[in-house]
């Protein structure tokens, strides 16, 4: 709900559990007055105090009032060069070379429904589910208008933010920085939580108390990256899963980003989130508009768990658009770890027949099906079937796969090109690279210039021809290198700072075209696993390959960190062979199944090499996936314990929204002599109901399970439990 007090220029956003408020003061500065647990309406600007602070300058409107300074006020969207020396939300370079952005409030509008963003991902909602607030600020001297967009999805405690910047003057203006959100706090007694790592070790949780100065994470790799995720949290120092106030901030963007927090000289804090300013500038011609990516904010008064569950619900209901959102996704097997590049039709059909016998529903042909690709040095960009390997092409192969009762899926990497390819030989200028410089290669491949419409058109037409001739129901859209030497032959020299952002817009444009042309095709995002696991990509692909690391024990930490913002239904998770390709570790097939069943489910192995007992277990896992799909994909997710390096088990739960059933998952760590007896306290159950736990003769009261706990059996190293709880 949006409450607008025009006579006081106060704007209050009320959600189910939180309150967010702004006020335009007497000088037109838009102050941020409060964001936190829900409170009564009122003018919260009285929380702001004033004093004459040395070296904090005073704007012209303040006259002789030395207590009024932009350097000390909590602001809704900070400018630069006009007396506020903290993190800037907006930096401009004007035609005269000056770099001042000084914004003042000029108006407001409240609308039913949720705003949309042209060419960019955004949460969506009907008029009955959301409201939009547009606050207009202006820098009169620069002739720049800034529209702050707020979407309020009350039921989910979700507040979205985006910014439109309009040049209302007669000369070009260069945007040098444009954050999507700025959030000021009157106290810096906060912890900053980020999700960091690298390839095959994504989204590990890191927590640190705010120190003086700026702390930040981000990416300048052209993708949101394996190294740092565009979702961060701020919280009270003592906050945990079910207690303490915390704030989740996510950016709906799949390129360079920066999430920064500053603890200033007066122990206030400011957080900004948006496009990374590295190599970013945007020339705004007169009358033109620039739109930032959307930021998503959820505050939880009761810890991380409620915040995560609200993000999960909002993502599932108001970000995922695919028809597969409400359909059970098929159990798949991917050919990569079974065959790599070395296959032909008989070999693939051998793999497919073994999979079909066990109940697998989708066969995915990974790399190596196109051009003359028998290794990763060649043929990217030549998207036509290799008929030496596959006589009759994909049309014949998909028909044979379908004849086994399975659907057919395909791996593609449409943003890349190999130097040894027909496409590169025909269009060497279609790659990102400054003239006269030698290439910097990643995975022996170059990056196509997706800022160019003709490049996107060629890729679309070439791949769509494949999809039109073969019955492809699933695409794995991969992207296997960071961007380097980012320069486009199609963009003037003075506007090369736009290339990174235009590249992301090009990716979004092509994904949207494929979605529209193939509305029933399931597209899974991938960038070497989790290198582009972000809210923006989920708008186009309803699931993302969580990590190239399929080791079940490592996946505990990866999926744990991912779960703070992203629901299990979006996490690509498969059972792979042992010893594991990434770690060399051997983990029981039962445990590999328990971990993978808490995401989108499938296999990465030659299923024909399994023993009869293991094949029976695969059948049981597939049946368990079908039986528990709705609970896992649509239920509430509870982190009971965090993964640790010692022998303590990692525990989590999936709970039905009506609390009628739940699944408890437990995976043990390393074993040590003389292990303790352990009980795990469950969450999310109805304390007044009794629950029958699978394998137990007597039912357990819900309050006992949550307050006293459930006794775990002694488990060996890397063993697991997956227990159903059903209310009586």
Reported as a single tens digit per residue, the pLDDT across 687-715 is: 999 999 998 989 999 999 999 999 999 99
- The whole-chain average pLDDT of the chain stands at 97
Distance CA 552, CA 573 (A): 9
Helices (H), ranges, 410-498 = 422-426, 453-469
- Residue 203 and residue 288 in one domain: yes
Least Cα distance to 420 among 386, 380, 391 occurs for: 380
DSSP class per residue in 523-568: EEE-BTTBTT-SHHHHTT-SEEE--S---HHHHHHHHHHHTTTS-G
Question: Which of 236, 375, 376, 614 is labelled catalytic?
Answer: 614
- Indicate which CATH number applies to the domain containing 699: 2.60.40.1180
Work out the percent of the chain whose per-residue pLDDT is above 90.
96
| pLDDT confidence of residue 419 | 97
C-alpha gyration radius of the chain: 27
Residue 16 to residues 12, 127, 308, 698: CA-CA distances in angstroms? 13, 17, 15, 38
The single-letter DSSP state of residue 437 is P
- Residue 312 and residue 334 in one domain: no
| pLDDT confidence of residue 322 | 81
In a domain, 416, yes or no: yes
- Measured in degrees and rounded to the nearest 5, phi and psi for residue 39 equal -135, 175
Whether the CB-CB separation of 448 and 381 falls below 8 Å is answered with: yes
- Is 191 an active-site residue? no
pLDDT at 135 over 80: yes
- Residue 111 and residue 61 in one domain: yes
pLDDT at 647 over 80: no
| pLDDT confidence of residue 565 | 98
In a domain, 150, yes or no: yes
- Residue 290 and residue 336 in one domain: no
Reported as a single tens digit per residue, the pLDDT across 544-560 is: 999 999 999 999 999 99
| pLDDT confidence of residue 646 | 78
| pLDDT confidence of residue 388 | 95
In a domain, 643, yes or no: no
- The pLDDT of 223-237, averaged and rounded, is 98
Distance CA 396, CA 136 (A): 58
In a domain, 645, yes or no: no
In a domain, 621, yes or no: yes
- Indicate which CATH number applies to the domain containing 66: 2.70.98.60
- Is 131 an active-site residue? no
- The pLDDT of 213-234, averaged and rounded, is 98
Which of 360-364, 458-462, 694-698 has the lowest average pLDDT?
A: 694-698
Question: Which of 361, 534, 554, 590 is labelled catalytic?
Answer: 534
- Residue 74 and residue 33 in one domain: yes
Using 50, 70 and 90 to split pLDDT, how confident is the model at 100?
very high
Q: Which of the listed residues 612, 637, 662 is the one where a domain comes to its end?
A: 637
| pLDDT confidence of residue 289 | 98
In a domain, 323, yes or no: no
- Residue 602 and residue 668 in one domain: no
Q: How many structural domains compose the chain?
A: 3
- Measured in degrees and rounded to the nearest 5, phi and psi for residue 604 equal -130, 75
Reported as a single tens digit per residue, the pLDDT across 511-529 is: 999 999 999 999 999 999 9
The two structure tokens encoding residue 401? 């796969």
In a domain, 506, yes or no: yes
| Helices 499-517/453-469 angle, 10° precision | 30
Whether the CB-CB separation of 243 and 164 falls below 8 Å is answered with: no
Domain range enclosing 668: 650-727
DSSP class per residue in 360-406: --EEEE-SS-BTT-SSTTB-TT--SB-TTTSTTHHHHHHHHHHHTT-
- Residue 179 and residue 50 in one domain: yes
pLDDT at 578 over 90: yes
- Indicate which CATH number applies to the domain containing 361: 3.20.20.70
Whether the CB-CB separation of 138 and 146 falls below 8 Å is answered with: yes
Distance CA 144, CA 161 (A): 19
| pLDDT confidence of residue 8 | 81
Residue 33 to residues 108, 305, 423: CA-CA distances in angstroms? 17, 26, 56
- Residue 298 and residue 188 in one domain: yes
Q: Which of the listed residues 637, 658, 686 is the one where a domain comes to its end?
A: 637
The two structure tokens encoding residue 148? 């702050």
In our burial notation (b when 16+ CB lie closer than 10 A, e otherwise), range 597-634 reads bbbbbbbbbbbeebeeeebebbeebbebbeebbebbbb
Residue with tokens 């006269």: 436
Work out the percent of the chain whose per-residue pLDDT is above 70.
100
Distance CA 125, CA 154 (A): 11
Pairing type for strands 522-525 and 472-477 reads parallel
Using 50, 70 and 90 to split pLDDT, how confident is the model at 671?
confident
Q: Which of the listed residues 267, 285, 318 is the one where a domain comes to its end?
A: 318
- Residue 346 and residue 313 in one domain: no
- Residue 76 and residue 186 in one domain: yes
In a domain, 50, yes or no: yes
- Residue 567 and residue 615 in one domain: yes
- Residue 670 and residue 594 in one domain: no
pLDDT at 339 over 80: yes
């Amino acid at each position: 709900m949006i409450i607008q007090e025009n006579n006081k220029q106060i704007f209050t956003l009320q959600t189910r559990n939180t309150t967010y408020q702004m006020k335009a003061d007497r000088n037109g500065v838009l102050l941020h007055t409060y964001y936190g647990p829900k409170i009564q309406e009122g003018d919260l600007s009285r929380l702001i105090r004033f004093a004459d602070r040395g070296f904090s300058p005073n704007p012209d409107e303040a006259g002789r009032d030395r207590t009024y300074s932009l350097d000390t006020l909590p602001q809704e969207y900070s400018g630069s060069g006009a007396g506020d020396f903290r993190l800037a939300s907006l930096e401009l370079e004007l035609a005269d070379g000056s770099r001042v952005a000084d914004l003042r409030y000029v108006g407001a509008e409240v609308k039913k429904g949720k705003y949309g963003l042209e060419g960019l991902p955004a949460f969506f909602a009907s008029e009955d589910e959301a409201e939009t607030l547009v606050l207009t600020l202006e820098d009169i001297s620069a002739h720049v208008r800034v529209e702050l967009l707020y979407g309020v999805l009350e039921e989910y405690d979700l507040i979205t933010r985006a910014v439109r910047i309009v040049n209302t003057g007669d000369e070009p203006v260069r945007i040098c920085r444009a954050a999507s959100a700025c959030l000021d706090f009157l106290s810096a007694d906060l912890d900053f939580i980020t999700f960091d790592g690298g390839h095959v070790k994504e989204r590990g949780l890191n927590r640190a108390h705010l120190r003086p100065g700026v702390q930040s994470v981000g990416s300048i790799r052209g993708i949101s990256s394996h190294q740092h995720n565009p979702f961060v949290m701020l919280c009270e120092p003592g906050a945990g899963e079910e207690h303490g106030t915390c704030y989740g901030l996510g950016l709906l963007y799949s390129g360079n980003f920066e999430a920064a927090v500053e603890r200033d000289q007066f122990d206030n804090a400011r957080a900004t989130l948006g496009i990374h300013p590295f190599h970013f500038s945007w020339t705004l011609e007169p009358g033109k508009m620039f739109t930032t990516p959307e930021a998503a904010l959820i505050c939880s008064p009761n810890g991380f768990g409620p915040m995560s569950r609200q993000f999960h619900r909002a993502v599932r209901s108001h970000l995922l658009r695919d028809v597969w959102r409400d359909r059970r996704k098929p159990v798949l097997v991917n050919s990569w770890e079974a065959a790599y590049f070395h296959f032909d039709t008989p070999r693939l059909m051998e793999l497919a027949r073994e999979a079909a016998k066990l109940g697998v529903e989708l066969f995915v042909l990974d790399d190596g099906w196109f051009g003359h690709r028998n290794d990763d040095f060649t043929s990217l960009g030549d998207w036509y079937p290799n008929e030496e390997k596959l006589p009759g092409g994909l049309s014949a192969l998909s028909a044979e796969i379908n004849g086994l009762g399975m659907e057919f899926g395909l791996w593609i990497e449409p943003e890349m090109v190999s130097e040894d390819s027909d496409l590169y030989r025909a269009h060497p200028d279609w790659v990102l690279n400054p003239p006269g410089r030698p290439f910097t290669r990643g995975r022996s491949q170059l990056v196509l210039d997706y800022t160019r419409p003709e490049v996107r058109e060629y890729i679309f037409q070439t791949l769509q021809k494949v999809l039109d001739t073969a019955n492809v129901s699933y695409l794995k859209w991969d992207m296997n290198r960071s961007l380097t030497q980012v320069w486009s032959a199609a963009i003037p020299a003075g506007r090369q700072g736009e290339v990174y952002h235009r590249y992301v817009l090009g990716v979004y444009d092509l994904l949207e075209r494929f979605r529209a042309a193939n509305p029933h095709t399931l597209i899974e995002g991938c960038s070497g696993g989790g290198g582009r696991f972000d809210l923006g990509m989920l708008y186009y692909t309803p699931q993302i390959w969580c990590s190239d690391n399929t080791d079940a024990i490592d996946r505990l930490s990866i999926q744990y960190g991912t779960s703070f913002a992203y629901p299990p239904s979006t996490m690509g998770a498969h059972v792979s062979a042992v010893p594991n390709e990434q770690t060399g570790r051997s983990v029981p097939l039962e445990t590999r199944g328990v971990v993978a069943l808490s995401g989108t489910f499938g296999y990465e192995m030659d299923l024909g090499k399994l023993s009869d007992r293991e094949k029976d277990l695969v059948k049981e896992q597939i049946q368990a996936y079908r039986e528990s799909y709705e609970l896992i994909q649509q239920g509430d997710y509870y982190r009971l314990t965090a993964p640790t390096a010692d022998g303590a088990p990692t525990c989590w739960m999936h709970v039905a929204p009506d609390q009628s059933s739940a699944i408890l998952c437990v995976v043990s760590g390393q074993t040590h002599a003389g292990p303790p007896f352990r009980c795990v306290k469950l969450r999310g159950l109805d304390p007044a109901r009794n629950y029958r736990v699978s394998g137990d003769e007597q039912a357990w009261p819900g309050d006992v399970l949550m307050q006293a706990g459930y006794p775990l059996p002694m488990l060996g190293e890397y063993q697991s439990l997956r227990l159903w709880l059903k209310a009586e």
